[in-house]
Amino acid sequence: MDNDEDRILPVINGKVQCLEAKKEPVENCSFCIHCREFLIGERFVKSPSLAYCTKCRITEPVDSSKAKAVKCADRQGGGFHSFTNIIS
């Protein structure tokens, strides 16, 4: 995982293959520092996890249950990392 592009993780049975050995519920992606966007229908929608990003400040809610895929910026294999650990 050393390329410069975000990974597209398909949502299968409500989960994404976050790491090779670990699947995460897609709802967790809304709280993950690596999550950038959700594929809802035919378009990507910014992740609510970007609400605390000083560059993005996204505040639009996302219905993750309708997501077909997740755009993930984790290129180092760290897996799910909740932003609540950072802001608390």
Mention every residue, 6+ apart, whose C-beta is less than 8 A from residue 63. Answer: 40
Whole-number average pLDDT of the chain:
85
Give the domain ranges of the chain.
Answer: 7-78
* Percent of the chain whose predicted confidence (pLDDT) is above 90: 47
Q: What are the structure tokens assigned to 43, written together?
A: 């378009």
pLDDT of residue 85: 63
Q: How much is the average pLDDT of 11-34?
A: 93
pLDDT digits (tens, 9 = 90+) for 30-56: 888 899 999 999 999 988 887 766 666
Nearest in space to 35 (alpha carbons), one of 86, 78, 74: 74
